[in-house]
Amino acid sequence: MIVIEKYNDSLHNPYWKFQLGPESYEIKDTPHRVETIKQALSNEADFQFFKARKFPERYIAKIHPYHDYIRNTALEMKEDEEFYPDLFPGEGAHLPKRVDSPLWGGIWCTDAVTPIKKKTYDVARASAESALTGAEMLHKGDADLVYALCRPSGHHAGPRVFGGYCYFNNAATAAEYLLPHGTVAIVDTDYHHGNGTQEFFQEVKSVFTSSIHCDPSNEYPYFWGYSEETGKGQGVGSNHNEPLPKGTGLPEYLEAVRRITTHIKEFNPSWLILSAGFDTHVDDPIGGFNLQTEDFFTIGKEFGALNLPILICQEGGYNLEVLGACVKNFLSGLKEAR
């Protein structure tokens, strides 16, 4: 299996977030996540590493209206500075047509857990380019199973705002690259709902989006991810959510996976993109499901059995003791089922 790795991951390493009191200030999304995964996969002959290639800026900028804001704000930062939006305008706010100052960040960001540093733009762009490299390989027929080791994650970044540790939506960027050539199905398996991905495509009938996640009535992102969200306009019926209760284990999780794979078979896409999060593990510090390390092999087999060209984009997963093994098991399951 091909693994696409970035060229500058360690340059983005924010320390603080503002959420839920002092004990949760430290951000869990660190470069150590990537190193843990690479170490687990490097020991296996089945995984062949390639560096992500650079793509023109327009591939990312055309679908992210805040692209220039992130780039320009990062340029203004000093080496050790972290910028956090501190005011989020509600309905009725006067929004200027042009926003250049970092101080207007609340227009583009949903929260105070997604800071911008000097190298944030470069690293977020490289993360999207990892997904684009994988999508290009699928489109050209150079591979039919590609894992993009994306960081930062992307699934909370949408067509209006970014947030939730996410700056650019890697899966959506890859899907936009592939769409002129066929249809795309996207499945998000992160513990948290992929609200940004859903919003990107909720009115697009040529993309089937789905997400298996913890019930948002008591888990982030709270305002998206309910079962009644099935798409809008021409896209009605092209979105499917599987909100599950905290404590969900493998049997219930597999039932949700099989409901989604049934929909995918009916949709019959040209390509499948998996936004793969591993914060569903029982010991993840910001999760709440009861999946075990070995369960990810079984879950991977379910998606591999669809026998589609697949791009996997890395999303969450924050327990460094098990993350590498979870990713390896998932990818091995995908590969074995094909």
Which residues are catalytically annotated?
Answer: 156
SS (H, E, C) 65-87: CCHHHHHHHHHHCCCCCCECCCC
Q: For the chain, state the CA radius of gyration.
A: 18
| Residue 238: Cβ-neighbour burial (10 angstroms; 0-12, 13-18, 19+) | buried
Could you give the CA distance from residue 84 to residue 82 in angstroms, rounded to a whole number? 7
Q: Do 301 and 336 touch, CB atoms closer than 8 A? A: yes
- As given in the structure block, the two tokens for residue 133 are 């490299």
- Strand locations in the chain, DSSP E? 2-5, 48-51, 145-148, 184-188, 207-214, 239-244, 271-276, 310-314
Question: Per the omega criterion (within 30 degrees of 0), is the bond before 96 cis?
Answer: no
Q: Across the beta sheet with 239-244, what order do the strands follow? A: 48-51, 2-5, 145-148, 310-314, 271-276, 184-188, 207-214, 239-244
* Nearest partner of 149 among 125, 181, 127, 124, judged by Cα: 127
- As given in the structure block, the two tokens for residue 264 are 């995918």
Torsion on CA atoms 35, 38, 39, 45, rounded to nearest 10: -170
* Nearest partner of 9 among 39, 27, 32, 41, judged by Cα: 32
